[in-house]
A and B are shown apart, each in its own frame.
Chain A
Amino acid sequence: AQSVSQHNHHVILSEAASLELGCNYSYGGTVNLFWYVQYPGQHLQLLLKYFSGDPLVKGIKGFEAEFIKSKFSFNLRKPSVQWSDTAEYFCAVVSNFGNEKLTFGTGTRLTIIP
């Protein structure tokens, strides 16, 4: 079965710092990968997704993620964070064959200090 690991449970950064949130998945086949964001009190919104092609994916609000197949990773990055990026970030994976269920990681809470 596929699984997703997000090792950073809570990250605290100052504004303008650079961000990288780790995401590793376990599945031997072809996968599609997602990052969702959940702002305080709100629902999950899609930040970016990878289906195929260029492994460096750019999303909304200056976020990007790089799919490294050999490392089974899909880390989220942003060069300079803002206070408004305070939220919980979820990595998710769905296999390309025979299983439509989206599997989410446990999430990383990001707190940006002004």
Chain B
Amino acid sequence: DAGVIQSPRHEVTEMGQEVTLRCKPISGHNSLFWYRQTMMRGLELLIYFNNNVPIDDSGMPEDRFSAKMPNASFSTLKIQPSEPRDSAVYFCASSVIAGERGETQYFGPGTRLLVL
């Protein structure tokens, strides 16, 4: 199994530009999570999906952030417009068996975003 796949691995952009991060979960997993990791705030859950439906987006910082999951094998996290404070590593994770408490989450390699 290829594991969770994220692209791009690195992104450098200028303030005001749109950024799109992509994630392909492990096949058969039906829960998908987007996290942001910074030195200041540690690892934060932004949003998670269950069977392609957003369940909790309370961690999304503001309206500039949006996430979609059009099908079971693909999700995007979009930042528009981007700001320097959005610079972070963004991780996607997936898990199997929606609704079962305590399922293990498997993390992707992350996208390192730098907004200048």
Which A residues are CB-close (under 8 A) to B31?
Answer: 100
Q: From residue B35, how far is it (CB to closest CB) to chain A in Å?
A: 8
- B44, closest chain A residue (CB): A104
Interface positions, chain A 47-66, Cβ under 8 Å from B, are 49, 51
Which B residues are CB-close (under 8 A) to A46?
Answer: 104-106
Q: A43-B91, A44-B91, A100-B48 are in contact. Are A49 and B42 (CB under 8 A)?
A: no
Q: From residue A111, how far is it (CB to closest CB) to chain B in Å?
A: 16
Q: From residue B48, how far is it (CB to closest CB) to chain A in Å?
A: 7
Query: CB of A82 within 8 A of chain B?
Result: no
The reply to whether B101 and A100 contact each other, CB–CB distance below 8 Å, is yes
Q: From residue A36, how far is it (CB to closest CB) to chain B in Å?
A: 8
- Residue of B101, B106, B107, B110 touching A96 (CB-CB under 8 A): B101
The reply to whether A43 and B107 contact each other, CB–CB distance below 8 Å, is yes
A105 to B110, CA, bound (A): 19
Where chain B touches its partner, the secondary structure class is: strand
Interface positions, chain B 32-61, Cβ under 8 Å from A, are 33, 42-43, 45, 48, 50, 55-56
Which A residues are CB-close (under 8 A) to B33?
Answer: 102
- A42, closest chain B residue (CB): B109
Query: CB of B25 within 8 A of chain A?
Result: no
The reply to whether A49 and B102 contact each other, CB–CB distance below 8 Å, is yes
A105 to B109, CA, bound (A): 20
The reply to whether A51 and B102 contact each other, CB–CB distance below 8 Å, is yes
- 13 further A-B contacts with Cβ under 8 Å, apart from A43-B107, A46-B105, A49-B104, are A32-B102, A36-B107, A43-B108, A44-B43, A44-B93, A51-B102, A90-B43, A96-B101, A100-B99, A100-B103, A102-B33, A102-B105, A105-B42
Closest 3 CB pairs of A and B: A32-B102, A44-B107, A106-B42
20 contacts between A and B (CB under 8 A): A32-B101, A32-B102, A43-B107, A43-B109, A45-B107, A46-B104, A46-B106, A51-B102, A94-B101, A100-B31, A100-B55, A100-B99, A101-B48, A102-B33, A104-B42, A104-B45, A105-B42, A106-B42, A107-B42, A107-B43
